Structure 1
């Protein structure tokens, strides 16, 4: 089993207005760079075997201090990019509701199933991202891996791996802190999955913990 330390990227310039960044390439704020530095300080003593990020600059920049403090190479994987929000990219919730009221209502009812026009469903995001974890398990079967990527994708994955309906991710997990760490062991209890398909496939050891409070 592999221990994954999973962190959302640092604060971006769209954060204050709650704009949907999705797969748009958005820069970090000065505060976001400081959050990345805190993550890097934690990583220095975490005993990591690998650092993997999405290919979006906000994720790579957030992982850069961890690369520096550990000496590990930065690995990127485009399958870890955020969900594509289509026509909602760059808009605030209020702007989406004004311009696309029916589409917003459908998204709010089942956000993993009903994407915005020209966007990607959350279930499709799960399907593309989960193999990254499986491949890292095969490469580091007893290792410790830091993944830096995106809030919506992570919340969808946690629901999937916990045996819960991903359409409930916005209610169950309304927010993830920037550069906060969620620690999971994956895969978990694989022997029981065949008999109990909804059995959790991960063990959650820590959720949304600021790096200065996270253990190693």
Structure 2
């Protein structure tokens, strides 16, 4: 089985340097560049012979996944365990607006707990997403065929924890990783070998 984890394509917030997090309004829709990225991903998915597609239920992820789904005539299955980290009161802010607070976060990126609340829920750290990511991976491996090639559209926090699960990297190493909109993270579950492939 191969699991192909991909971060959603560029959103309007991404283009402005704003934090998407759990936001799910028009500011998180794909830009024209993001749509081009999603179309390019659909060709990549066809080349890789993807036969199952999962996505975070957030619009930007589903919008990214929909292009591959249409090209391959597949449905998009959503799973809330793939939702991004809650950035608390930082949701929708730019890194420039956050200033020194952002600099402090950069020193412990994976474990930093985002302050305040968003939609009545406390901010999280990327690390706090690990149990839900592990649960998702275990269920996928358990419930699908070894020959399946599964495309999974998600977010930075999810992919960081995919690395944590398969690579067993330390929190510090995970915190230094940058998740691109243009790279697929492909895991062979038979060997537990992961590779980064541009698309």
| CA distance in structure 2 between the partners assigned to 1:48 and 1:139 by the alignment | 16
Q: Secondary structure at the match of 1:174?
A: coil
Note if contact 2:156-2:179 (Cα within 8 Å) is conserved in structure 1: yes
**1:110–1:168 Cα contact (<8 Å) kept:** no
8 Å Cα contact 1:156/1:166 also seen in 2 = no
**1:48 alignment partner, SS class:** coil
| Structure 1: runs of 5 or more not aligned | 189-201, 211-216
SS at match of 1:44: helix
What is the Cα deviation at residue 104 of structure 1?
5.3
C-alpha contact (below 8 Å) 1:160/1:166 kept by paired residues: no
Structure 2 unaligned runs (5+)?
116-121
Runs of 4+ more than 4 Å apart: none
Give the match's secondary structure for 2:13.
coil
The structure whose residues are more often helix, as a share, is: 2
Asked if the contact 2:22–2:83 (Cα under 8 Å) also holds between the matched residues in 1, the reply is: yes
Give the superposition deviation at 1:208.
4.4
Q: Which residue of 1 aligns with 2:30?
A: 28
Q: How many residues align?
A: 189
Residue pair 1:9, 1:179 contacting (<8 A) in 2 also: no
Aligned equivalent of 2:51: 49
Distance 1:167 1:22, change over 3 A: farther
TM-score, scaled to structure 1:
0.80
Q: Rg larger in 1 or in 2? A: 1
Residue equivalent to 1:197 = none
Contact persistence 2:88–2:124 (CA under 8 A)? yes
SS at match of 1:14: helix
